[in-house]
Amino acid sequence: MPDPILPTIQSPADLRELSIDQLTDLAAEMRQAICDQVAKTGGHLAPNLGVVELTLALHYVFDFAHDRLLFDVGHQCYVHKLLTGRYHLLDKLRTRDGMAGFPEPAESDYDLFSVGHAGTAISTAVGMARANQLLVDRGAEQPRHIAALVGDSSIVNGLALEGLNHAGTLKRQMLVVLNDNGMSIGKPQGAVASYFDKVRVSQTYKDLKARAAELLKKVPGGGVIEEAYHRLGEVTKAALAHDHMFEHFGLLCLGPTDGHDLRTLIEMLEEVKDIDRPVLLHVKTTKGKGFEFTEGDATTFHSPKPFVVNGCRVEVTSSGRSFTSAFADAMIDVMANDERVTAVTAGMPDGTGIVKVIPKFPDRTFDVGIAESHAMDMMAGMAKGGLKPFVVVYSTFTQRAFDQVFQEVALQNLPVRICMDRAGLVGGDGAVHHGFLDIAFLRSFPNMTLLAPYDEPTLNAALRFMNDHSDGPSAIRYPRDNVPTEPFAAEPEPYELGKAVKLVDGKDLAILAYGFPVNHALEARKQLHQQGYNVSVYDARFAKPIDKGLIRELIEAGRPIVTVEDHAAIGGFGTCVVEAADEMGLDTRKITRMGLPDRWIYQDSRANQLAEAGIDTAGIARTVRSILENGHAPQPQVQVVTATPKPVR
């Protein structure tokens, strides 16, 4: 057995000492290393397996210590990280001491942006290309090659198309690599996806060359393609696409070509590297390449939990019933009982649970691809048309449709219902996916209703309330976590607009918890009770409208109030409570807000992140004790966690 190559790769410069055959061996080692690690910790598996050869070829041809590589859908970056000095961080993937699951500039200078949202790379690449050109023209910098790697159908995102539209105006080098794997997170949707399905890969170099002669017959004299044809090598000449849809954006388009053919990829990249105009290289890859179980089910293994391979079987670790699963079942019940209900997701049918709803109601459930803005506006149209639409999306992606919530939903006072999964801290995905802003930006819209459940029965009750609420838009938030195995009440009180519910009575202090933190508040209350403290716990239920009557009652009774939320303290539920008290002319000095601090919280387990923010059971109990014993909340005692130090370049 030859010695493994992967542990010897300290930087991309080491690649250039390898033969093509050795690169092929390295690709196999990388696939195995990534698969073995994701099986232990979870993470993005299929997207990274599909870009091994493509990433190797890019780093082999370009010098990204000086040149610039920008990622779209940053979850396809594992191979890039293994090539840039971070192999030693792989065994702690997605933990605070290990390798981030997305590009992370604090981790390495090779990562230019912390990026977890799709559609951004082309626009930022255009900006970096223009910045470099301006500095070169002033003699302040050397020319840099700019490359953007786009994948998982993010090319259909509106921002990506805006970037392509402007990229065509560049008068200098810029490369867009379109990683077309025939997939998004799940099955891609829409006309662009259908177009790509019709395009076939030229499997061999011979096939590429055979296209060249026919190509020139179709090219008008003096065209961009004819000009390029006479300047390029044989491989690239053959790959020129005179009728590619993105040629009309002003880009020189090549391909599609086989994204797993290392030799041809390297030759092609070498030939297009210095073209002084924007180029789009269309590459066909197989998502999950290298393992039968990932190629056969790339959706399940897009970002799996830890799993075990037992011969022909792959068993994904089950850690309990998630809020996502509970939501899916609740949504099915709502749709079964009301034929006017519709639901949409934006490229996340599996992650939001809508994948379970689509087979039940295929004519009323939609996946529009990575297009949150379109999803929101489409559902505004459905609401205007008399239906009851639900937009099902991650909290962090709701931000991408902010303008549509403003203009087409809230301004029109349409009863669009927004269901936000992954609210609050999300664990290993880290800051790029934390859902910590939704209360702050949605509460500013007039007549918006904001609510949050804390277990499965309250989730069901909240969705029933939303379905019946037609006086304006509403939004519900729930975490990337499991529902409690023993709910507080099998049949909770029905949701009543703007009304909180007392769960446990107590005379010393009142905890008003919003959403999932109710569970931590109840556990903290048990600990406090054993220590002689008598604390009440309320399920706040609504951040807007807030229960002003309860706030007045508690303040006038002289009881301290502690608000708890899995959201930024700035602008969140606690702020709603303080503002309501102030508006009523009440004393706000005994209100203590507990929420996420004003800093980024790094990747780790969700439990560790909650502890770091001080809003877990221990943190709530500590705060309440300090207030009752000392008259004020304790000073923060958390360590600020930063990324692993950058490797030297």
Residue by residue, what is the 3-state secondary structure of 220-273?
A: CCCCHHHHHHCCCCHHHHHHECCCCHHHHHCCEEEEEEECCCHHHHHHHHHHHC
Domain-embedded: residue 71: yes
Same domain for 563 and 449: no
Same domain for 410 and 273: no
Q: Is the peptide bond before 597 cis (omega within 30 degrees of 0)?
A: no
Chain-wide mean pLDDT for the chain?
Answer: 90
Domain-embedded: residue 166: yes
Domain-embedded: residue 312: no
Which residue among 144, 287, 289, 590 is the active-site one? 287
The confidence score (pLDDT) of residue 204 equals: 40
Q: How many domains does the chain have?
A: 3
Domain-embedded: residue 615: yes
Same domain for 437 and 534: no
The confidence score (pLDDT) of residue 248 equals: 80
421 vs 301 pLDDT, higher one:
421
Domain holding 406: CATH number? 3.40.50.970
Same domain for 427 and 383: yes
Domain-embedded: residue 314: no
**pLDDT tens-place string over residues 5-29:** 999 999 999 999 999 999 999 999 9
Domain-embedded: residue 309: no
The confidence score (pLDDT) of residue 74 equals: 87
The residue with tokens 């050869």 is 53
Same domain for 357 and 276: no
Same domain for 527 and 466: no
Q: Out of 461, 477, 493, pick the residue that ends a domain.
A: 477
Rounded Cα distance, 596 and 398, in Å: 19
Q: Is the pLDDT of residue 170 over 70?
A: yes
Same domain for 147 and 224: yes
Q: Does 68 qualify as catalytic in the annotation?
A: no
**pLDDT tens-place string over residues 264-299:** 999 999 999 999 999 999 999 999 998 989 988 888
| H or E stretch covering 47 | helix 46-49
Same domain for 384 and 274: no
Same domain for 586 and 553: yes
Q: Does 388 qualify as catalytic in the annotation?
A: no
Which tokens go with 446? Answer: 């007039």
Rounded Cα distance, 214 and 238, in Å: 9
The confidence score (pLDDT) of residue 612 equals: 96
The confidence score (pLDDT) of residue 196 equals: 54
Share of the chain above pLDDT 70, in %: 88
Same domain for 100 and 217: yes
Q: Is 144 left (phi over 0), alpha (psi -120 to 50) or beta?
A: beta
Mean pLDDT of 56-65: 97
Cα-based torsion angle of the residue sequence 80, 30, 94, 107 in order, rounded to the nearest 10 degrees: -30
Q: Note if the pTM is more than 0.85.
A: yes
The confidence score (pLDDT) of residue 335 equals: 98
Q: Is the dihedral of CA 60, 603, 95, 514 positive or negative?
A: negative
Of 236-250, 328-342, 416-430, 447-461, give the lowest mean pLDDT range: 236-250
Domain-embedded: residue 464: yes
Mean pLDDT of 151-161: 82
Residue pair 287/298 in contact (Cβ under 8 Å)? The answer is yes
Range of the domain at 521: 501-630
Q: Out of 408, 443, 477, pick the residue that ends a domain.
A: 477
Same domain for 243 and 198: yes
Domain holding 535: CATH number? 3.40.50.920
Q: Is the pLDDT of residue 377 over 90?
A: yes
Domain-embedded: residue 204: yes
Count of positions (residues) in the chain: 649
Same domain for 207 and 148: yes
Q: Does 292 qualify as catalytic in the annotation?
A: no
Mean pLDDT of 191-211: 47
Which residue among 372, 408, 456, 612 is the active-site one? 372
Q: Is the pLDDT of residue 396 over 90?
A: yes
